[in-house]
A and B are shown apart, each in its own frame.
Chain A
Amino acid sequence: MENILLAHGGGGRLTKKLIEEIFISELGNEVLSKLDDSAIFEHEGGKLAFTTDSYVVNPIFFPGGDIGKLAVYGTVNDLSVAGARPLYISLGLIIEEGFPIDELKKIVKSIKEAASFAKVKIVCGDTKVVEKGSADKIFINTSGIGKIISHEISSTKALPGDKVILSGSIGDHGIAVLQARAQIHFKSNIESDCAPLNALVEKMLSSKNSVHAMRDPTRGGLATLLNEIAKSSNVNIFINEEKIPIKEEVRGACELLGLDPLYLANEGKLVAFVDGKTAEGILSRMKKDPNGIDASIIGEAKKGKGTVILKTKIGGERIVDTFSGEQLPRIC
């Protein structure tokens, strides 16, 4: 059988067969293989972080990753930046009738590898099939649970005097996906930066209580994220263009297409607002992690009303606003 049929989502024999052959064979563990409605697991007490997200990326396969890998790492990162150790993930799939099973297998294999690498378990799942045209190939919804291992970290807790640390180069994922969409034809070696950040975060959290706010700049990019934190914490944020890491090729693609890298999506980066005194120490620990090698202190928070100001490479100054809508390639 080559393609998903509506019957695969029916709950009957075909559904069972699909689950055994595709999901359990790859993802089976002592919890998941029970195939109960809810996953029950032991927990010794303490706070839990719980997140949910949906993944509808187009195209589903892109340089450096796919929708499965994105779903796992995206969920892991949402938990990590909240100061939690990611533990368990649920997996809900909505699949379009006619979707090739070979591609589904690839995605599930990718999920397995990502979960193993990030040291999280997929403990429950659900699959629905919809008529052709009702979904764009495959949508994935996840929920994730993690154990809080730090003090409270929140977008509302950035303070004047905090230094802003960016864990690495911006724009890689945005450009990788754009290239894969093939509306604009160009060749590059850019790959999505899709990666789990839990190990990096744990290195940062060993400085007790120094990390005040932390988020991952996904859709909307760094600019949108900084604006959210600036407004939530009621601070002004000053950033230095010279300190923002960006790969040469990403810059080239942005120049070519008239895109601003500050608004491009990232899937393996974080931004943290840390106590000014401990910033250098945290930075050097980050640089020891594969996902923090290019980490940089890009600016600082000051007293203010929620404005983000950029010092440009030539010494000028401008305001960085939240982006509205989708950034489109331009010729003018």
Chain B
Amino acid sequence: MCLAIPVKIIKIDGDKAEVDASGIRKEASLKLLPNVNVGDYVLIHAGFAIQKLDEEQALESLKLWSELNEIH
């Protein structure tokens, strides 16, 4: 129940950000996620950024399937 998609922060103006989703530009509020920077990827839901995406963790998740080979 909650459509939130990864977008890139392009601009920050106070507690508002301009974000990019595959070329679509939208405004999003940073009130729920104050400590972000231009260039960060965040999840946005209903016009608000709700979490910053952790690249390291993402890469780990992607590697997980190959680790499955080793566990079994």
State if A and B touch, Cβ cutoff 8 Å. yes
User: What is A's interface to B at a CB cutoff of 8 Å?
Assistant: 185-189, 248-249, 251-253, 255-256, 258, 330-332
B7-46 interface mask toward A, CB cutoff 8 Å, 1 = contact, 0 = none? 1000000000000011111110000000000000000011
18 cross-chain CB contacts under 8 A: A185-B26, A187-B24, A188-B25, A249-B22, A249-B23, A252-B23, A252-B24, A253-B21, A255-B22, A256-B5, A256-B26, A258-B3, A330-B3, A331-B2, A331-B45, A331-B46, A332-B2, A332-B3
For the A-B complex with A186-B25, A251-B22 known, give 16 more contacts whose Cβ atoms are closer than 8 Å: A185-B26, A185-B27, A186-B26, A187-B26, A188-B24, A249-B22, A249-B23, A249-B24, A252-B24, A255-B5, A256-B5, A256-B21, A256-B24, A258-B3, A331-B2, A331-B45
Q: What are the nearest 4 A-B pairs in CB distance?
A: A252-B22, A249-B23, A187-B25, A252-B21
Q: How many residues of B contact A (CB 8 A)?
A: 14
Give the distance in Å from the alpha carbon of A271 to the alpha carbon of B37 in the complex: 45
Q: Are B24 and A253 in contact (CB under 8 A)?
A: yes
**Interface set of B (CB-CB < 8 Å, partner A):** 1-3, 5, 7, 21-27, 45-46
Q: What residues of A have a CB within 8 angstroms of the CB of B27 in the complex? A: 185
A86 to B36, alpha carbons, bound, how many Å? Answer: 56
The residue among B1, B24, B25 with the most chain A CB atoms within 10 A of its own CB is B24
A252 to B25, CA, bound (A): 10
Q: How far is the CB of B44 from chain A (nearest CB, A)?
A: 8
B43 to chain A, nearest CB (A): 12
Given the known inter-chain contacts A331-B45, A331-B46, please indicate yes or no for A186 contacting B2, CB distance below 8 A: no
Distance between Cα atoms of A187 and B11 in the complex (Å): 14
Question: Who on chain A is nearest to B1 by CB?
Answer: A332
Provide the residues of chain A in CB contact with B3, threshold 8 Å: 258, 330-332
Separation in Å of the B3 CB from the closest CB of chain A? 5
**B contact residues around A253 at 8 Å (CB):** 21, 24
Whether the pair B25, A248 counts as a contact (CB closer than 8 A) is no
Q: How far is the CA of A248 from the CA of B7 in the complex (A)?
A: 13
A255–B21 touching, CB < 8 Å: yes
Q: Which residues of B contact A251 (CB under 8 A)?
A: 22
**CB-CB nearest in chain A for B21:** A252
Which residues on B sit within 8 Å (CB–CB) of A188?
Answer: 23-25
Contacting residues, chain A, for B21 (C-beta < 8 A): 252-253, 255-256
> How close is B63's CB to chain A, nearest CB, in angstroms?
18
How close is A178's CB to chain B, nearest CB, in angstroms?
A: 11
Chain B contacts of A186 at CB under 8 A?
24-26
Smallest distance from the beta carbon of A174 to chain B beta carbons, Å?
14
In the complex, residue of chain A having the shortest beta-carbon distance to the beta carbon of B18: A187
Chain A residues with CB under 8 A of B45: 331
Contact for A189 among B1, B7, B23, B46, CB less than 8 A: B23
